[in-house]
A and B are shown apart, each in its own frame.
Chain A
Amino acid sequence: MMSWKRALSAAAIVLPLLALLAFGLTRNPNVIPSPLPGREAPQFELLTLPLAEGGTPETVDLAALRGNVVVLNFWASWCLACRDEHAPLSRVARAYADEGVQFFGIVYDDSPRNARQWIEAMGGQAYPALLDPHSRTAIDYGLYGVPETFVIGPDGTVRHKIIGPATEQELRAQIDALLLERREIELPAGGEHPVTETI
């Protein structure tokens, strides 16, 4: 009589605790959900890193790229995982250059000299590298490490965030979906004539 009462009250305390701990085990503390996807991409105006010593930098304004799919990859020369994703990123950037997909590598917490040497050592980069003084753009994008890659849709919203090295498969899948979306916007229902010049 007394023993099952005691067992019941023990279960009433232990089971909720076990449930709480079990719930904790299902969550990965290293994956931090970003509030960015679905929201408008933070604006920036950054200078490119000229690959030739003493070259003139150009200004890249994200707002001017509205209507294109934009891929932003944050990287650094001291980042080992960035080496792994260098080849796939460059390959996908070349493959989609004709579709108007713009790739940019934003250099994070690194010196222009080291970044330039890294690009040379890796055999070039298929897209411009941008310098981010004081990491302001990185903070705006809620960066918590490199590499991180953001895919921005033609409407200027962040659609996808890749944490860690980007793979060719994931990049292609994301870009294809956005290009399809853009084509559907350009081709109104029943319209035979594709709008060639939009925005």
Chain B
Amino acid sequence: MKTTRAPRIVATLLLGLIIQGIGGAADGAAAPQSAEQQRPGDGEATRGAADAALERRTSEVASGLRCPVCQGVSVEDSPTELARQMRGVVREQLAAGRTPDEVRAFFEDKYGEWILLEPKANGFNLVVYILPWLALLAGLGVIVIVVRRWTRPPPGEAPQPAQPVASSLEP
């Protein structure tokens, strides 16, 4: 009756929260891209489609670089002078025909891997990529086990028929 329904409601709520959390994370990941498109290129007039494409590629690379004089802000988002100059370097190198990977490698060469906002998926860094999924799986496992235990009828008692629950809601 009520005691057996409550865990189900809790479990549903928990699952709902988890699903919402995953959806929220996906929203967060998508947000920087829409911000990129709105950003004008450092006061320089963007003339023609080629300029716009260069600006877009500059933003793309700059969003993946960590601003050295800030706390956890990308070169793209930082208003500091150094970040502005670094965007200039990115733009210059892209215009000179370097690929985004080559530009990232240039900065990594100067600052080390620290400059990349997203750690490379190799070696010890894999912990960052794998651990959240392991934790999520473990959490789901715990929920399944706990919900089963809660909804299991006490030993020696026959499973409850559905009617008494429905009738108990009526006044």
Q: Residues of A with Cβ closer than 8 Å to B? A: 13, 20, 32-36, 42, 109, 134-136, 138-145
Q: Which of B71-91 contact A (CB under 8 A)?
A: 81-82, 85-86, 88-89
A139 CA to B87 CA in the complex, in Å?
11
Contacts of A138 in B (CB 8 A): 82, 85
- Say whether B126 faces chain A, with CB atoms less than 8 Å apart: no
Least CB distance, B17 to chain A, in whole angstroms: 22
Given A144-B68, A145-B68, also A32-B85 (CB < 8 A): no
Contacts of A140 in B (CB 8 A): 110
A134 contacts B85, CB within 8 Å?
yes
Contacts of A109 in B (CB 8 A): 81-82
What per-residue 1/0 map shows which CB atoms of B60-78 lie under 8 Å from chain A? Answer: 0000000011000000000
Given A136-B89, A139-B86, A139-B89, also A35-B111 (CB < 8 A): yes
B110 contacts A32, CB within 8 Å?
no
Mostly, the B contact residues are helix
B69 contacts A136, CB within 8 Å?
no
A134 contacts B88, CB within 8 Å?
yes
What per-residue 1/0 map shows which CB atoms of B12-50 lie under 8 Å from chain A? Answer: 000000000000000000000000000000000000000
Beyond A32-B114, A142-B111, A144-B111, 12 additional pairs, beta carbon < 8 A: A32-B111, A33-B114, A34-B111, A35-B109, A36-B110, A109-B81, A109-B82, A136-B89, A139-B89, A139-B110, A142-B112, A144-B69
Partner of B110, one of A13, A20, A35, A145: A35
Q: Residues of B with Cβ closer than 8 Å to A? A: 68-69, 81-82, 85-86, 88-89, 109-112, 114, 127, 138
Number of CB contacts from chain A to chain B under 8 A = 44
Least CB distance, A28 to chain B, in whole angstroms: 13
Most buried by A among B69, B88, B127: B69
Contacts of A141 in B (CB 8 A): 110
A139 contacts B112, CB within 8 Å?
no
A143 CA to B80 CA in the complex, in Å?
14
17 contacts between A and B (CB under 8 A): A13-B138, A20-B127, A32-B111, A32-B112, A32-B114, A34-B112, A35-B110, A35-B112, A36-B110, A42-B110, A135-B81, A136-B85, A139-B86, A139-B110, A141-B110, A142-B111, A143-B68
Least CB distance, B123 to chain A, in whole angstroms: 14
B109 contacts A139, CB within 8 Å?
no
A46 CA to B68 CA in the complex, in Å?
23
Contacts of A36 in B (CB 8 A): 110
Least CB distance, B149 to chain A, in whole angstroms: 13
Contacts of B138 in A (CB 8 A): 13
- Chain B residue with the shortest CB-CB distance to A35: B112
Contacts of A143 in B (CB 8 A): 68, 82
A135 contacts B85, CB within 8 Å?
yes
A141 CA to B82 CA in the complex, in Å?
13
Most buried by A among B109, B127, B138: B109
